[in-house]
Homo-oligomer: A and B are copies of this chain.
């Protein structure tokens, strides 16, 4: 038989790897050489395939659960697959429609958009959908409202220009007259409106100090009130839907995986923070409109080591404000997921922009 060029060899190897990953994604079972030999596609005997497989294993793309088992892809293989082999799949028309409906139906509050988004992600992916909501830090204050609850208690309501509302109860040592409150409210609004939350937190003292001469007695109150209010803004939260989708996957039925998952879910609190850190690092290679993929042990978080993340940022105006995506098993239909997440990210961005109205 004729000699193959190195390029041809490599090409064949690549095709084989692709076939293996495909198959493994479909079935979740290790794939053997015999099966691939029958899959007409590449016209090779099982023996040849075995040889190539051995090479691939040496190079770190495949593993052996045990001697007499087929091969299964390593994280490195998935990474290669995602980077080079995946072709962006167009979302089925039906799904696109569904997404659109979802958003037209209930775009009212920003919270609802996000909740609804995580659900949509979960339903369409059949895995777990998540949305990390915008952090307040960078957004600007649109309005600050003081609502007296009783003599010594005031509810402070903050509205950001992204339409997010945060509230906090502040207590005074001594009763505070309605008049004082309303002038304080006016003053605070004048000083703070239009500034970013970060800015407010970092330089609020200065601003208030400047006002000190004029309103001596108001100063302490206002300062106390503002500082108590604004130190809450770094709380992060998370929308997470369809955790059961993963839990009930056959791959995760054993004790080991299960406990990792449960551990992960129980920390809902930190999870948002973690995802944010995990995913907002250095800018992704912008191959699929900002969608990025983290596979298995590429995730720092130990509990994620058997899972993959497909994520994307979403934006209000030009500003990336949050992250959304899906969590699924390593063997997932990457191409569909990437296109799903990408599409939803842009839909959400659209919805939020409409909601917030124009550039901030």
Contact = CB atoms under 8 A, between A and B. Distances in A.
Contacts of A109: 167-169
Interface in A223-271: 242-244, 247-248, 253, 255, 258-259, 262-263, 265-266
Given A265-B244, A266-B243, A358 B150 contact: yes
Interface of A is mostly: mixed
A168 B108 CA distance: 7
A169 B163 contact: yes
B155 A159 contact: yes
A263 B358 CA distance: 41
A358 to B, nearest CB: 6
A153 B165 CA distance: 15
A165 B167 contact: yes
A243 B265 contact: yes
A16 interface: no
A225 B107 CA distance: 16
Interface in A276-312: none
Interface of A: 108-109, 142-143, 145, 147, 149-150, 152-153, 155, 157, 159, 163, 165, 167-169, 242-244, 247-248, 253, 255, 258-259, 262-263, 265-266, 355-358
Given A149-B357, A163-B169, 7 more contacts: A143-B147, A145-B147, A155-B165, A243-B262, A244-B265, A248-B258, A253-B255
